[in-house]
Amino acid sequence: MPQTATANILTILETDFSGVVEEWLGTQVKEGVKRSDLFSDSESRAQNQELLKAFGKGVRAGVVNEEFSLDDDAWEDLRAVLADVSKERVSRGVTPTEMATFVLALKAPLFKRLEAMPGVEGMKLIRDVLMVTRLVDAFAIHTNEIFIGERDQIIERQRQEMLELSTPVVELWDRVLTLPLIGTLDSARAQEVMENLLQTILERQAEVVIMDITGVGTVDTQVAQHLLRAAAAVRLMGAECIISGISPMIAQTMVQLGIDVGTVSTRSSIRTALSDALQRVGYVIKKNEAS
C-alpha cells in the first residue's frame, strides 16, 4: 500500500482504534465539551466508538485520489450515526458549539499518531495533517448542518402548534363570533387568523364578529394595520366587526401613532362589545327580577 495520507490515517484507525477513542474522549473532557451531566461515561464511549467506526468506513471507501464528499454513498453510515447522535444531543440540550468542538476534538489524537508514525515527517507530515483536517472539518460541518436541521424541525413544529393553538374562533351566541387574540400579531399569524375567521363567518353565517385584543401586548402601526385589514375583509363578506379590549394605554398609543380606525367599531371591554353584538342580532341581556 502506498503511503498516502488516507492510507496512513486508515492504518492508525485499524491498529489503534480504542486508543483513538479513549484519547478523543480525553480531549473532549479537556475542552470541556464532554457533558458528563447529560451522558454517562459508557454512553459517551459507545457513541464515540460508533462514530469513529463509521468515520473509518467512510475514509476507507469514500476517499478516492485524496478527494471525497460526505454526500457520497460511502459515507452513509457516518451520516446515519450522526443523525442519531445529533437528535439525541439536541433533545438533551447540547449547544451547536459543544457539538462542533466535540467532533473537532478528534484531530488531536490523530495528529499525535501521525507524528509518531515512522517515515512521516516534514512535508509528508504536513500533507497528512492537512488531510485529517479536511476530513474532520467536513465531518464537523456536516454535524452542524444536521444539528441545525434538527432544531429547525423543532422550531417549525412548535410554530405550527402555536399558530393552531392561538387562533381559536369561538361562537359566543347564535350569529355572534369572537376571536380572542393573544400574544404578538405578525404578518404570518395575521393572515392565518384572518383566513380562519372569514371561513368561520361563512360556515356559521355569523353577522357580528368581536376581535378581542385584551391579550395583545403592544399595538404598533403594523399590528393596527393587520387588525383593520381583517376588519375590512369581515365587512366585505357582509358581517360587522367590533374590536374590543382596547385599553386606555393602547388608545393613547394608537392616537399618538396617528392610526385611524375609520368606521370600525371599537370598545374598551369584551363585555360592552358582547352586549352591543347581541343587540345587533336582536337579543337583550336582562336581569331576572325574581331572583
| Selected range binding another protein among 63-71, 85-93, 197-205, 215-223, rule: CB under 8 A | 197-205
Least Cβ distance, residue 202 to another protein (angstroms): 6
Site membership for another protein, residue 160 (CB under 8 A) = no
CB 209 within 8 A of CB 265: no
Site membership for another protein, residue 239 (CB under 8 A) = yes
Nearer to another protein, 3 or 205 (CB): 205
Least Cβ distance, residue 236 to another protein (angstroms): 4
Site membership for another protein, residue 223 (CB under 8 A) = no
| Of 15, 91, 160, 205, the one binding another protein by CB under 8 A | 205
Least Cβ distance, residue 158 to another protein (angstroms): 21
Mask 75-104, x = binds another protein (CB under 8 A)?
A: ------------------------------
Where does this chain bind another protein (CB under 8 A)?
Answer: 194-195, 198-199, 201-202, 205, 207, 229, 232-239, 263
